[in-house]
Amino acid sequence: MPERAAPPLDLASYMAERGRLVDAALAAAVPPADALPAPLHAAMRYSLFAGSKRLRPILVLASAEAVGGQPDAVLSTACAVELIHTYSLIHDDLPSMDDSATRRGQPTCHVAFGEALAVLAGDALHALAFELLAETARSAGLGRTVQVIEEVAAAIGTQGMVGGQVLDLLAERRPELAHLGRWPEVPSEGVYRIHRWKTAALIRASVRAGAILAGADPEPLRALSTYGEHLGLAFQVVDDILDETGTSAVLGKDARADAARAKLTFPAAYGVAESRSIAGIETERAIAALAGWGPRAGVLVELARALLVREA
Amino acid sequence: MPERAAPPLDLASYMAERGRLVDAALAAAVPPADALPAPLHAAMRYSLFAGSKRLRPILVLASAEAVGGQPDAVLSTACAVELIHTYSLIHDDLPSMDDSATRRGQPTCHVAFGEALAVLAGDALHALAFELLAETARSAGLGRTVQVIEEVAAAIGTQGMVGGQVLDLLAERRPELAHLGRWPEVPSEGVYRIHRWKTAALIRASVRAGAILAGADPEPLRALSTYGEHLGLAFQVVDDILDETGTSAVLGKDARADAARAKLTFPAAYGVAESRSIAGIETERAIAALAGWGPRAGVLVELARALLVREA
């Protein structure tokens, strides 16, 4: 027996500590709010430091650590996926998209800075993300870095995050998109496809990125990919349920916005009760992928459980 | 003396041939217009195949060739800079930005596909560009590829293309941006800064990318960087002059749109005559950077001369 048993895992402490690491690195990566062009940097920082849980960057760190890597070596990639997530929220909130006025309890970027600056702040975060991804080569090597850049780019492209957002809009059957013709694929492909692309692809890529950069062997990498895919789907199903059942005050954004826009969500397709069951099943599948990993996977397993029962 | 003299350089043939190479590679890189999500791919292709001169990708190829590289080895990076340029045009044309209805003689992307799809088509082209940049590692090696990714990302970021677009908007002194406070840097920094960031940074990065990927030595790389910077500035000054003096029919977009929006252009700051002189000076500086290169630089030199006297 080891002299000292491993301390019990405190997920909240882990999240807080890794979150601070990410926050400090993000603060250093984005030029200061008074650097030219000042309003652009101010808009980027406004959205970046608006109370995110830093889920995606923490998944990069935790996945690297689960296969024996060091957080510092993958930190710039962790920041990159948060920049990408933030850019996507800014663009999704635009008047021409979801037209959201509130996010994380404060005015959305375009409400605070105007629509033009919001578009450009998103674009600048998107570009800066790839600058940081490339910088990771200094701590994690060239080959692994190039593989991660290629995978992240694909995960946020036409058959990933952006493609999912398009399916999401098409499924709303907006009149202004009617002239584009019928796109029969959306109903038949269903809400699983939308959520896999819109949300799960980047979450899966974040988990894979940490593992690839830390030099994971093929078998653990496959297991982590499965974990990331099911975790990402569960995360979005819970998001849909909270939008349906939560209050605006707790969520920090307009509750029932999905229903108001007739979005194709899990509650809309399956009802709240069955959606809860689907979220539970996907969470179990994520955890099952790491069966036998022991304490190495403790953070990832606990994180999956915590995300299932979150209230915001 | 060589047995046969080099044939006289025919710039138009070179541009047409390399343009076809780029067109074919772009057609293969973007998913077909009927692949899911079909309207997204249709919007991307619509803007990508709207009659671009392919200046930036041809600069990547010509720069690589000038230092002894092969076009095929840098083709995916050539495509990437064209994807980035196209994304930036789509976003610049949006109603919240320059609100342009026509581009290259046809309706802009948001007019044809709606604003939401135009934002997302730009985002998807942006992501796909970095996927192609990363793919270049297969033909040009890991280290050079990572360096190019980092440089391109910086060139299109807050102190590059996007930053220049922000300064451009701020210089218009739009009422909706007034609440952001005074940004005294714009007038004093002037139109040179706007154009260097908005246009020259990506053109310079395109020239550098070709040379870096082809393994250029430091001295020729420095010369090509100087060439790219001055060429990029000259290109935008000529663009400004054409907007002021050309007709909508020849330009394929609304002429005098800059003046209508009170944009800070070279003609606005210096008048048309002095702007022509500035464009000539910058073109000469670009060409002078390649003095002594002989026929190797023939394409780049002729291209600089041709861009100075273009009419659209």
Whole-number mean pLDDT of chain B? 92
Band (pLDDT 50/70/90 cuts) for residue A1 is very low
Q: Within 13 Å of residue A188, how many CA atoms lie on the same side as its CB?
A: 6
Mean pLDDT of B98-103: 94
Residue A176, pLDDT > 80, answer no
Mean pLDDT of A125-129: 98
SS3 B67: coil
Cβ–Cβ of B166/A119 closer than 8 Å?
no
**CA dihedral for B217, B218, B220, B225, sign (positive or negative):** positive
A96 contacts in chain B (CB < 8 Å): 114-116, 119
Do the Cβ atoms of A194 and A264 come closer than 8 Å? yes
B167 contacts in chain A (CB < 8 Å): 36-37
Nearest to B97 among A44, A119, A159 (CB): A119
User: What ipTM goes with this model?
Assistant: 0.95
Measured in angstroms, the CA of A75 and the nearest CA of chain B are apart by 16
Residue B103 pairs with which residues in a beta bridge?
Answer: B106
The tens digit of pLDDT for each residue in A251-282 reads 787 778 888 888 889 998 899 999 999 999 99
Q: Does residue A249 or residue B200 have the better pLDDT?
A: B200
Domain A11-308, CATH class in plain words: mainly alpha
Band (pLDDT 50/70/90 cuts) for residue A31 is very high
Residue B227, pLDDT > 70, answer yes
The whole-angstrom separation of Cα A186 and Cα A20 is 40
Cβ–Cβ of A158/B117 closer than 8 Å?
no
Q: Write out the two tokens for B78.
A: 């050539």
B158 contacts in chain A (CB < 8 Å): 31, 37, 40-41, 44, 124, 128
Closest CA in chain B for residue A31: B158
Cβ–Cβ of A145/B146 closer than 8 Å?
yes
The whole-angstrom separation of Cα B251 and Cα B245 is 10
A169 contacts in chain B (CB < 8 Å): 116-117, 120
Do the Cβ atoms of B174 and B206 come closer than 8 Å? no
Cβ–Cβ of A38/B185 closer than 8 Å?
yes
Cβ–Cβ of A177/B117 closer than 8 Å?
yes
Mean pLDDT of B276-302: 97
